[in-house]
Structure 1
Amino acid sequence: MTDHSGSETMSDSNTHTATGYRMDVRDPVTVLLPTVRWTTACDQVAAQLRADDELFVICDREDDPVAGRDPPNGVEILVAGDPEGCTAKANALAYGMERATNDRFVWSDADYERDDDWLDCLVEAGEEHGTAAVLPMFPGGGWWRLVEPVVVLSLGLQAGLLRGDGVPSYPWGIRCSLPFISQAK
């Protein structure tokens, strides 16, 4: 679609973003969402899936509330089992990665809401810049202000994963090997 000046703009079918990336031809992704409850975020991510995308909502046990849910198309509920020697989140992510059919992954939490183009924007950032990571910042007052320093301090950890040129030392979009998954557990 072009505007009055003849420049290409984002079309209604979301074929191009503001940076020109063709979202209609992006590679499929597997979204891993560890949670014990179905949340608004689960619905929001499910609504953003493309035909070959996968959304794995991953819980620990069969008696977790989400385990018995009938998910929408493109969504699979996985029961990872109780973790051994790692956190429940690491166990869930490793379990989901072992079952993924796509080579690109999005790891996320289920406790915040997303914009309608969240998944496409995150995939675009990964395509353009390599590994994409998002850290929450909670501007304003209230009790969130108490956890804000923790988020800022975690930037040190993120910086430790960089090669020196600002690029993470692990490439975005390359399937993690099974040894990595074993180490995550």
Structure 2
Amino acid sequence: MPNDPAAPVSVVLPTREWTPACAELAAQVGPADEFLVACDGPSDPVVDAAEGTAATVVVAGEPTGCSAKCNALAAGLERASRDRLVCTDADFEHGEEWLATVRRLLARVPEGHVLSTAPVLASEGPVGKLLEPSSAVGVATSVRFDSGVWGGTMAFRRGEVDVDAYVADLRRTAGDDALLAERADGIETARSLVREMPVDGTLCGTLSRRVRWTRMGLYLDPAGIATRALLPLAVIAGTLAAPFVTVPLVTGVAAAAYAALGVHRWTFLLAVPGYALALLLLCYGLARDEFEWTGRRYRWESLYDVTVLDPDGK
């Protein structure tokens, strides 16, 4: 039954390393479920680490014409056999009740919709800290208006999304979550599934991540790119014209977003300079099409035109 929260699921997790998230999910899957860990090659550390656990390792092979994550996710989805599919990532803390919550919420999702959420960025790097407030405001908005899909949490029912077409397109792109959103009739963005996602807050790591996110928006949501430019411009203009009004207002909105999401970090105080930096990074992302991601370098020239580059950029 579509609304049965006890129905078995296939959990697909692309990763080369066995992380705490893998152990969390291995402990949460039931006997009728599948837990598929998709990696690049047989020598990846996760292959040996998964032995004796509830996880089944799927070896995807080296990516060609797509990102390694999309390649691994495609291989995992091809192997999955259950009618309910749950895709997630290995780089954030899920919590003991994560899979149970996904099951319960997926049972309530309207036909043809995808269940997802959004991540709250958490960084110890100086550049990353500046970007946390604008990210939190975006997440709170996404949750409020059911407007976001995040690769860390994507759940849907087979037959309501064309899985074969999705898998085929994954193998020629670098954006898994926004691509799924294009194939769904609607999105359900759950507040209870919001998680803090640790990110590299260094300049190089931030630049690569912003190029990837900006290119994805440019190819799949150009209107969203315009919105992401207008808000920082408004903050900058307001700060210059009326700083004693704009600065407290923007900082207060960021603080409210943190409170709504249950985030306890002081970085909401960096909201105004963070929006200025976000605008600069958006411009950088529009001007660049190369980025690094989990040890590989890519050139992403259009939605279905991805080149896996050598370390020297060739």
Query: Residue 82 and residue 128 in structure 1: after superposition, are their counterparts in 2 closer, same or farther (change >3 A)?
Result: same
Instruction: Give the corresponding residue for 1:159.
Output: 147
Instruction: Give the corresponding residue for 1:137.
Output: 120
Which residue of the other structure, out of 63, 68, 72, is the alignment partner of 1:92?
A: 72
Structure 2 CA distance for aligned equivalents of residues 136 and 55 of structure 1:
22
1:46·1:72 contact (CA, 8 Å) conserved in 2? Answer: no
Q: Deviations over 1:38-90 (max 9, x none)?
A: 11111100100111111111111122111233434431011100111111111
Instruction: Give the corresponding residue for 2:157.
Output: 173
Q: Do structure 1's residue 83 and structure 2's residue 63 form an aligned pair?
A: yes
Deviation at 1:147, TM superposition (A): 4.1
Would you tell me which structure has more strand in proportion to its own residues? 2
1:53·1:74 contact (CA, 8 Å) conserved in 2? Answer: no
Superposition pairs of residues 1-185 of structure 1, within 5 angstroms: 23=5, 26-129=6-109, 130-138=113-121, 143=126, 144-148=128-132, 149-150=134-135, 152=138, 155=142, 159=147, 172-175=156-159, 176-185=162-171
2:27·2:54 contact (CA, 8 Å) conserved in 1? Answer: no
Structure 2 CA distance for aligned equivalents of residues 88 and 117 of structure 1:
29
Secondary structure at the aligned position of 2:156 is classed as coil
Deviation at 1:131, TM superposition (A): 1.8
Q: Deviations over 1:114-139 (max 9, x none)?
A: 22111010121111124211211147
2:121·2:135 contact (CA, 8 Å) conserved in 1? Answer: no
Query: Residue 59 and residue 181 in structure 1: after superposition, are their counterparts in 2 closer, same or farther (change >3 A)?
Result: same
Deviation at 1:160, TM superposition (A): 8.0
2:13·2:90 contact (CA, 8 Å) conserved in 1? Answer: yes
Query: Residue 45 and residue 97 in structure 1: after superposition, are their counterparts in 2 closer, same or farther (change >3 A)?
Result: same
Query: Residue 28 and residue 62 in structure 1: after superposition, are their counterparts in 2 closer, same or farther (change >3 A)?
Result: same
Identity across matched positions, percent: 34
Secondary structure at the aligned position of 2:36 is classed as strand
Unpaired runs of at least 5, structure 1: 1-20, 162-170
Instruction: Give the corresponding residue for 2:185.
Output: none
Query: What is the aligned-residue RMSD (CA, Å)?
Result: 3.0
Secondary structure at the aligned position of 1:132 is classed as strand
Would you tell me which structure has more helix in proportion to its own residues? 2
Equivalenced residue count is 152
1:41·1:113 contact (CA, 8 Å) conserved in 2? Answer: yes
Q: Which stretch has the larger CA shift, 134-143 or 56-65?
A: 134-143
Larger radius of gyration: 2
2:18·2:50 contact (CA, 8 Å) conserved in 1? Answer: no
Q: Which amino acid aligns with 1:62?
A: P
Unpaired runs of at least 5, structure 2: 150-154, 172-314
Secondary structure at the aligned position of 1:32 is classed as strand
Structure 1 CA distance for aligned equivalents of residues 22 and 12 of structure 2:
10
